C-alpha cells in the first residue's frame, strides 16, 4: 500500500489537486510578442546569465525570476528590469521559457 492509497483510506472525502492545476500560476504570466534576450557575461571572473526585454508587469517579472531560480536551484537577483542568474544556464533557461510560451533570443558566445 503506497502513500496515496493510505491517504485515500484516511481521508475518503478529500479531492486531490491535479498537477495541471498547480501549473496554472505559471500560465498567468503575460506573454509578449518580442523575444526575451538571454545573454552571458562574466562579472568579477564569475559567469552569469542575464535575461532582459520583458515588458510585462513587474510582479510577473519577479515571479518569473523566482520560478527560474527555484527550478535551476541557483541564486540570482532581479533589478533594473533584468533577471540575473548565477552561472551559465542559457540553454536550460531558454528551454524553460519556451515551455512557458515565451520567445527567447540568445545573444553572445
* Spatial separation of the C-alpha atoms in residues 58 and 92, rounded to whole Å: 23
> pLDDT at position 28, please?
67
CB 105 within 8 A of CB 35: yes
What are the pLDDT digits (tens) for 18-69?
544 433 344 567 777 788 999 999 999 999 999 998 887 888 888 889 999 9
What are the pLDDT digits (tens) for 5-18?
888 888 888 776 65
Average pLDDT (77-88) is: 90
> pLDDT at position 6, please?
82
Buried b (16+ CB within 10 A) or exposed e, 39-70: bbeeeeeeebbbbebbeeeeeebebbbeebbe
pTM of the model: 0.68
SS (HEC) of the chain = CCHHHHHHHHCCCCCCCCHHHHCHHHHCCCCCCCCEEEEEEEECCEEEEEEECCCCCHHHHHHHHHHHHHHHCCCEEEECCEEEEECCCHHHHHHHHHHHCCCEEEECC
Amino acid at each position: 500500500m503506497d502513500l496515496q492509497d493510505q491517504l485515500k483510506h484516511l481521508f475518503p472525502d478529500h479531492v486531490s489537486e491535479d498537477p495541471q492545476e498547480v501549473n496554472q500560476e505559471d500560465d498567468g504570466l503575460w506573454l509578449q510578442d518580442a523575444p526575451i534576450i538571454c545573454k552571458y557575461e562574466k562579472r568579477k571572473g564569475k559567469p552569469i546569465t542575464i535575461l532582459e526585454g520583458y515588458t510585462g508587469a513587474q510582479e510577473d517579472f519577479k515571479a518569473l525570476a523566482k520560478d527560474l531560480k527555484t527550478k535551476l536551484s541557483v541564486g540570482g537577483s532581479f533589478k533594473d528590469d533584468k533577471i540575473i542568474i548565477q552561472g551559465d544556464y542559457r540553454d536550460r533557461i531558454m528551454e524553460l521559457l519556451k515551455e512557458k510560451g515565451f520567445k527567447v533570443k540568445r545573444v553572445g558566445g
